[in-house]
Amino acid sequence: MGISAIIIAKNEEKKIGDCLKSVSWADETIIVDSGSVDKTIPIAKMHATKVIRQLSGGFSERRNRGLKEARGEWIFYIDADERATRELRDEIHKLITNTNYSAYAIPRRNIILGREMKHGGWWPDYVKRLFLKSKFKGWTGELHEEPNFEGKLGHLKASLTHVKHDNLSEMVEKTNNWSEIEARLMFEAGHPPMNISRFFTAGLREFWLRMIRHAAFLDGVPGIIYALYQVFSRLVSYTKLWEMQLKIPAFVRTSAGRQKLKSKS
């Protein structure tokens, strides 16, 4: 078997169908569902080769579960809100028959608030998604998972289409979920106590990155809105970190306190 497409999903009834149709050329399609309560699973069963329920673990565990079930020589990961273009299909089919690379990064066209974002740091937005199974070890990391593989990484020219955010309500909901995980990871890593200056510099860095360095304003009103939203999203994560830090004794929040606890352990 040549190519196994793996999709992780949860409550994606609005987008999963188009995603599955865009990878109908794969030799098998595996859905790893993490607890959908909408019509995601019935829709998936109409198109996918296999549908698996994985209720525990994070993104890495779900991607690895799909890898375990896959039979293809090549593994292609695609998210429910992404679409594989015909150009990408053709490039993948051409390269896997003769290549010296064991993994490939694919550029993404990000569609946000109904507009393709070409600035703000959203292009080319490479993601590592295609792997030779014999060289692929799996995924690690809870929020920003990373693949582990042997061999060289190549870069494709054809792109994925990423229907990232349709409206502000969807953006806020995802920020609330992701910021919780991000804050906990920073907390567990021993991030210094949050204060006024750290809040200010965090917001300023994100604004400079999106609006100034990557010129988000060139994407018009949607680009400006999304750049400012990234500042808000970053500050939400740090605010949740601040809340977590308030729950521990003041001495432990200091670097000396953390070092003392480490020495005792």
Q: 190-241: per-residue pLDDT in tens?
A: 999 999 999 999 999 999 999 999 999 999 999 999 999 999 999 999 999 9
Indicate the domain borders of the chain.
3-164, 167-258
For the stretch 156-190, pLDDT in tens is 999 999 999 889 998 999 899 899 999 999 999 99
* SS3 label, residue 148: strand
Q: Do residues 87 and 146 make contact, with C-beta atoms less than 8 angstroms apart? A: no
Residue 240 tokens, joined = 């949740």
Whether the predicted pLDDT of 259 surpasses 80: no
Q: Rg of the Cα trace of the chain?
A: 20
**Cβ neighbours for 13, distance < 8 A, ≥ 6 positions apart:** 36, 38, 39, 40, 43
Supply the DSSP string of 243-254, one letter for each residue: HHHHTS-HHHHS
Two tokens at 116?
A: 């393709």
Would you put residue 93 in left (φ > 0), alpha (ψ -120 to 50) or beta? alpha
Q: What's the topology of domain 3-164?
A: Spore Coat Polysaccharide Biosynthesis Protein SpsA; Chain A (3.90.550)
Q: Beta-carbon neighbour count of residue 101 at 10 Å?
A: 18
Cβ neighbors of 145 (< 8 A, separation 6 or more) are 58, 59, 60, 63, 139
Please give the Cα distance from 187 to 170 (Å, whole number): 26
Determine the pLDDT at residue 251: 47
Question: What whole-number distance in Å separates Cα of residue 12 and Cα of residue 33?
Answer: 10
